[in-house]
Amino acid sequence: MSKDIVLAFSGGLDTSFCVPYLIERGWAVHTVFADTGGVDAEERAYIEARAKELGVASHVTVDGGPVIWNGFVKPFVWAGEGYQGQYPLLVSDRYLIVDAAIARAKELGTRAIAHGCTGMGNDQVRFDLAVKALGDYQIVAPIREIQKEHTQTRAYEQAYLEERGFEVRAKQKSYTINENLLGVTLSGGEIDHWKAPGEGARGWCKPRAEWPSEKLQVTLGFEKGEAVSLNGEKLPGAQILAKLNALFAPYGVGRGMYTGDTTIGLKGRIVYEAPGLVSLLAAHRALEEAVLTKQQNRFKPEVARKWVEVVYEGFFHDPVKTDLEAFLASSQSQVNGEVVLQTTGAMVTAVEIRSPHILNAKGATYAQSADWGVEEAEGFIKLFGMSSTLWAEINR
């Protein structure tokens, strides 16, 4: 008798392998694809067809765009920091995929959840900890299981599928590719061997030779730190991010290479592309710098770095994340206004800021004019530097 199990499914090499592997071990496999906005209609249809081709008992597709905006993008933009100052946490949709898988498990009345994470990466930590935080479920990880006997897991998975008559896409033979509303990550092949990425290691961002000749300029509107409009049009957040991806990807904005300290201790090297998210972060930071106080701007990055570390390392449901978000939300009360972004390629710059909350002094402009006198300036400098001046005088 088969047992029901829910598999988080993307149609890639790893999750495709998981389907026949689980079926051959007596499971009735129910796949869930959480569409978090990184695929078009053609790819979505492919994923559904792939699941049926592999012989699943059922397949459902869940719209995850609004959820990923509210559950991740909003607080991430409030934080405004990448992991280790660079990586924009593009695989944070994993937590929302877990939510979709558990919802499907409840519908089916099963407590078995499967995923296609390897035993070498961070995603296994994110999946497992998220599942454990949400209930008492059995977790099955086929890729971790085959690693006990096979060191070259991708080659084994590929051969396993082809022996059973299932084709493997050419790009899946070379790279591990993840796409969602947040962006694209690519690893594997020459990237893992510390070499320059090949021509195939490219997602949405166009190469330099294909950038448009005219500059791009867009206006983003914010209310309490959340993007609410694009070029004057009010839109849901997920739609704004999708449009920013489409606008800035042709200019190569948001593409980078990242080597980081992973949760499990290995060095991780990836190519990432996040045109919309990088643009959104640039606009939000420019507005924040103008409306927050000096003390807020100095202290907030410390909270942000902790929030990013917690999310990166799998503690999405730890109460400290909620605690940190309470501070971040409070800091956004006056982050209202519009920011004009501009790019001619690769870099995006905030060229104009409009807000009623910009901390302008009525009678003074930095390095231009002041409404205080010479004596006040000299007195400020004397008191501000008192400790250092005394040390220098006494210890000459």
Model confidence over 319-365: pLDDT tens digits?
999 999 999 999 999 999 999 999 999 999 999 999 999 998 887 77
Query: Which ranges in the chain are annotated with CATH 3.90.1260.10?
Result: 184-354
Residue pair 279/286 in contact (Cβ under 8 Å)? The answer is: no
Residue 173 has pLDDT above 80, yes or no: no
Query: What pLDDT score was predicted for residue 333?
Result: 97
State how far the Cα of 240 lies from the Cα of 62, in Å rounded to an integer: 20
φ, ψ for residue 120, nearest 5 deg: -105, -10
Please state, for a pLDDT cut of 90, what percent of the chain lies above it: 80
Nearest to 64 by CA among 185, 179, 157, 155: 179
Residue 23 has pLDDT above 70, yes or no: yes
Model confidence over 53-104: pLDDT tens digits?
999 999 999 988 888 999 999 999 999 999 999 999 998 999 999 999 999 9
- Through-space distance between the first and last CA atoms of the chain, rounded to whole angstroms: 87
Residue 260 has pLDDT above 90, yes or no: no
Residue 145 has pLDDT above 80, yes or no: yes
Residue pair 257/271 in contact (Cβ under 8 Å)? The answer is: yes
Query: What pLDDT score was predicted for residue 63?
Result: 87
The third-level CATH classification (topology) of the domain covering 184-354 is Argininosuccinate synthetase, chain A, domain 2 (3.90.1260)
Roughly what angle, to the nearest 10 degrees, separates helices 94-108 and 123-134?
Answer: 40
Superfamily covering domain 3-173: HUPs (3.40.50.620)
Question: Is 358 strand, coil or helix?
Answer: coil
Residue 1 has pLDDT above 60, yes or no: no
Residue pair 53/31 in contact (Cβ under 8 Å)? The answer is: no
Write out the H or E segment, with its range, that includes residue 197: none
pTM comes to: 0.89
Question: Is 339 strand, coil or helix?
Answer: strand
Range of lowest pLDDT (259-263, 300-304, 313-317):
259-263
Residue 31 has pLDDT above 80, yes or no: yes
